[in-house]
Every structure is written in C-alpha cells, then in structure tokens.
Structure 1
Amino acid sequence: MYHRFVAAQVRKAFAEITAGNWEAMVEGMAPTFTYRFYGDHALSGERHTHEALRRWWQRAFRLLPDTQFTVDEILISGWPWNTRVATAVTVDCGLADGTRYQNVVNQFLRMRWGKITEVRTLEDTAVLQATLDRLAAAGYSEAHAAPITDLVPTA
C-alpha cells in the first residue's frame, strides 16, 4: 500500500511539473538534499539548496518551455524512513527554434519520511547536448551557460 501511495505522489509531481508548477517539486525536497543532473552542459551540475534548484528549474523551462513529462515506469523499494524510487520518463517539447526535443530521463530518488533527500538524473546527454547546441546557434546563449550549482552564479 505504501509503495502505491509513493507511486501516485511521483506521478502527481510529474503532472505538476508538466503543468508548469515545478515549485511543488522544490517544496518536496528535504532541508538537506542533493540534486544531481549528469553531464557537462547548461542543465548539468549538483545542487544542495532550494534557491539553486529554483534557478535550475527556471533555466530548464526557459530552454525547454512547455515540457511534457510522461511517466513510463516507477519502481519503489523500502519504507518511509528509507525509500528508493527509480523512474523512466519520456520528455517532449517544442523549442523556440521550431524543432522538437524528445528524450528519455531516468531518475533515481531517495526519500525519508516523505521528503526527497537525493535525486540523480540521467538522460541521453548526446540528444540533450545537440538540442542545447541548436538553441545556442539560434541565439539562446543560456543554452551554453555554465551549470547552475550552489557555488557558481548563473550568467
């Protein structure tokens, strides 16, 4: 029963983000957390503060507006004091340069008592990097900006 509840919460979180309400996800983070997006690009990096995560979501939606997230699979193990969640999510959005961005995201989360303590995001970085390169070539310089972290200010 607990695992079904967590799965429903994860689906709800992705539905909220799809609706543009990424703040609900930020509020779901524990006071101490790690949010890591793998790669070496404008959306990569590691964040540990709610403020840095907000700046990251703002950038993500500037670069990839109206992103639609479709949850394909959720795997859950553990109990409220140590829950592990794995997701496979399809990402799709139209871009300002007239092309489409489509990719698959795999996220691995850890939760403790209903709050997220760790997120590790893995995406096909070749597809993402090609998209960011197209956006930068179309004049969106933020597509090649330094990653947003707790230590590096945004451009």
Structure 2
Amino acid sequence: MHQSIVRAKVRSAFERINAGDYMVMVDAMIRWWQRTLRLLPDARFDIQDVLVNGGPWRTRVAVRSLVSGDLPGGGRYENTVFQFLTLSWGNVTSIETAEDLQVLERALRSVASAGEPEALARPIAD
C-alpha cells in the first residue's frame, strides 16, 4: 500500500513538472534543506571528490562528500554521502543520493531524544 501511494505521488509530481509547475519539486527541496539545518545546525559538507563526464547536452556529475556535525549530548554525526547528478545545458535533470541510512537514523534518534521530535518525522516526499 505504502509503495503504491509513494509511486502515485512521484508520478503526480513529475506530471506537474511536465506541465510547467516545477515549484512542486523546488518547494520540497526547500523544506528538506530547512529541516536538515534545523535538526543538524552545525552540519558541514566537506567535498572529497567531484567527477564530471560528458558534454553540455548530458553532463554526469558524481560527488563524494563527508557530512559531519555535532549532536546533542556531545556526540558527533559523520556520514559519507554520494550524489549523482545529470545536467542538460546547465539544468539539473536528475539527482540520486546514497548514504548510510543507519548512521543517519542513529543521529536523528539522538536529536529526537534531546527534545526535537521533528527528527523522527516522516520524510519530506512531495
């Protein structure tokens, strides 16, 4: 059931984008970054590698970054994040992100136990 709902939301979002309403994606990204910086206000993204391939009509970019920051109670969050982007004439057409979700979950549980229940909120998906 959950997968069907998510699949429908994703398809709906891209239908809106195809119709010219890109704000559906932009709004979600803005909310995602706002939440990230609320929950991990000291987060730092240290870029380790940037690989670029292809011409301006289809450029593929791979980024490896170390994300780190202080957690409540003196803990530390450290995770390696990989992002794969496709660009067409300077416009991002796709983004894929891979990270260790167990490390992220432990950090969010730490933030939640320090009194920030939003750390356990549902992912921003639309």
1:99 to 75, 79, 100: 75
Q: Show the counterpart of 1:121.
A: 97
Q: Distance in 2 between matches of 1:90 and 1:138?
A: 24
Kindly state the Cα deviation for residue 66 of structure 1 after the two structures are TM-superposed: 2.5
Question: Helix, strand or coil for the counterpart of 1:79?
Answer: coil
8 A Cα contact 2:49 2:64, kept in partner: yes
Identify unmatched segments of 5+ residues in structure 1: 1-31, 34-47, 151-155
Q: Show the counterpart of 1:62.
A: 38
Matched, 1:86 2:91: no
8 A Cα contact 1:97 1:135, kept in partner: no
TM-score normalised by the chain length of structure 2: 0.77
8 A Cα contact 1:85 1:108, kept in partner: yes
Kindly state the Cα deviation for residue 55 of structure 1 after the two structures are TM-superposed: 0.4
Matched, 1:75 2:13: no
8 A Cα contact 2:112 2:120, kept in partner: yes
Question: In terms of Rg, which structure is larger?
Answer: 2
Kindly state the Cα deviation for residue 94 of structure 1 after the two structures are TM-superposed: 1.3
Q: For the aligned residues, what is the CA RMSD?
A: 1.6
Greater relative contact order structure (CA < 8 Å, 6+ sep): 1
Matched, 1:142 2:118: yes
Q: Distance in 2 between matches of 1:64 and 1:73?
A: 23
Kindly state the Cα deviation for residue 75 of structure 1 after the two structures are TM-superposed: 1.3
8 A Cα contact 2:71 2:110, kept in partner: no
TM-score normalised by the chain length of structure 1: 0.63
8 A Cα contact 1:65 1:95, kept in partner: no
Structure with the higher helix share, 1 or 2:
2
Kindly state the Cα deviation for residue 69 of structure 1 after the two structures are TM-superposed: 1.1
Bigger CA drift: 68-77 or 90-99?
A: 90-99
Matched, 1:109 2:109: no
Percent of residue pairs bearing the same amino acid type: 46
Identify unmatched segments of 5+ residues in structure 2: 1-16, 19-23
Give the count of matched residue pairs.
Answer: 105
Q: Show the counterpart of 2:28.
A: 52
